[in-house]
Amino acid sequence: MLGAEVLVNPYQTAWLLWMVPLLAATGCVSKSVYTKETQRADQLKAQTESLASQMQALQSSLGAAKSENAELLKTLDAKKGELNQRLSELTKQNQDFTQKLREAELAKEAEIAKLKGSYDQLVSGLKSELEAGQVSITQLKGRLSVNMVDKILFNSGQAEVKPEGRKVLERVGEVLKKLEDKDIRIEGYTDNVPISAALQAKYPTNWELSTARATAVVRYLQEQAGIPADRLIAAGYGETHPIASNLTPEGRQENRRIEIVLVPIEVPRYPAISAPSPTPGSSKQ
């Protein structure tokens, strides 16, 4: 039922539309009855036309809804395809990441094993020096280093290696030379005591002194131990990076040190090219 309208039987409407004029023609009804029935027939006709119009509108809306639904289904299928493609890509990325992570773990395990092997070689090769307290070896967070207190190598305020220091470096060099899969970084450190006025012309600060000492050890390992120069690195850290308090003589002594650190080879090696022979007067001044 639409509003206050009464559902109309189309057959009833047609019958009334046929009977009204027939009754009028036969004279069987009064004029008032005829008029009433004519009005009713017109109302029923109008209602029928209205229902037909509403039916047509509903059919049109239904067609539009079906069309819209078809478009939505098409869009849904497209989105589903996109999501499946993205899921496939993410699955592949996850597999690649898992593979790389596993490879990294295996590489790390291999590096740890190599580092342990290097540590064992150093301990075995420097057994007497370790027992004498001339060197110490540490392995911490992938860093393997040989720590040498500076009094074994140098006199106070000097960067020339002492005779007894050369003996220790000779033994250290023999072991380091065998570890061909590592570069060797020589790190020089000092305490926080300023350079004396007598030495400031040569070493203005602890930076220069620590760097000169690291360089002296590098040169010895190259020239006397025969370690290739492209495996050696010299670095001076001055009074930075203390490992003990500088407030006590014992702490300052610990901070005055040379650390020989084994590091992975990161720079690719290229064949050495011999420098041309210097011509007279062309050397550095």
Closest residue by Cα to residue 208 from 249, 169, 237, 244: 237
Q: Domains in the chain: how many in total?
A: 2
**Residues 136, 254: one domain?**
yes
Same domain as 258, residue 163:
yes
Task: State the pairing for strand pair 232-236/182-189.
Answer: parallel
| pLDDT tier, 285 (very low <50, low <70, confident <90, very high otherwise) | very low
Domain endpoint, select from 55, 82, 111: 111
**Stretch 271-284: mean pLDDT:** 55
Q: Are residues 145 and 256 in the same domain?
A: yes
pLDDT tens-place string over residues 134-174: 889 998 877 889 999 888 899 989 999 999 999 889 989 99
pTM of the entire predicted model: 0.60
Structure tokens at 232: 């050696």
Q: Are residues 215 and 260 in the same domain?
A: yes
Same domain, yes or no: 130 and 80: no
Give me the pLDDT at residue 117, please: 83
- C-alpha distance across the termini of the chain, in Å: 114
- How confident is the model at residue 1, as a pLDDT? 43
Q: Are 169 and 220 in contact, with CB atoms under 8 Å apart?
A: yes
Q: Is residue 255 a part of any domain in this protein?
A: yes
Q: At what angle do helices 206-223 and 163-178 cross, to 10 degrees?
A: 60
Residue 188 lies in a domain: yes
Mean pLDDT along residues 250-277: 77
- State yes or no: pLDDT of 220 exceeds 60: yes
Residue 278 included in any domain? no
Check residues 235 and 17 and name the one with the higher pLDDT.
235
Say if residue 130 is in the same domain as residue 255. Answer: yes
Q: Considering 111, 140, 171, which residue would you say is the last residue of a domain?
A: 111
Same structural domain, 130 and 15: no
Domain CATH code at residue 203: 3.30.1330.60
234: closest CA among 172, 190, 187, 166?
A: 187
Whether residue 93 is found in the same domain as residue 148 = no
Q: How far apart are CA 8 and CA 47, in angstroms?
A: 7
For the cut 80, the answer to whether the pLDDT of residue 256 exceeds it is yes
Which amino acid makes up residue 279?
Answer: T
Amino acid at 131: E
User: What CA–CA distance (Å, rounded) separates 52 from 60?
Assistant: 12
Which residue type does 201 have?
A
Confidence category of residue 15, pLDDT binned at 50, 70, 90: low
In a domain, 70, yes or no: yes
52 and 162 inside one domain: no
Question: Do residues 107 and 132 both lie within one domain?
Answer: no
Regarding whether 256 and 158 lie in a shared domain, the answer is yes
Q: Which residue has the higher pLDDT, 222 or 263?
A: 222
Query: In this structure, are residues 216 and 159 in contact, taking their beta carbons and an 8 Å threshold?
Result: yes
Question: Same domain for 136 and 187?
Answer: yes
Q: Reply yes or no on whether the pLDDT at 206 is more than 90.
A: yes
Distance CA 82, CA 77 (A): 9
pLDDT exceeds cutoff 80 at 50: yes
117 within some domain: no
Domain membership of residue 223 (yes or no) is yes
DSSP class per residue in 143-207: EEEEEEEHHHH--TT--SPPHHHHHHHHHHHHHHHH-TTEEEEEEEE--SPPPPTTTTTT-SSHH
Number of continuous H segments (helices) and E segments (strands) in the chain: 7, 5
For 109-122, the pLDDT digits (tens) are 887 787 788 888 88
Q: Which domain holds residue 159?
A: 126-264
3-state secondary structure 50-64: HHHHHHHHHHHHHHH
The answer to whether residue 118 sits within a structural domain is no
- Asked if residue 211 belongs to a domain, the reply is yes
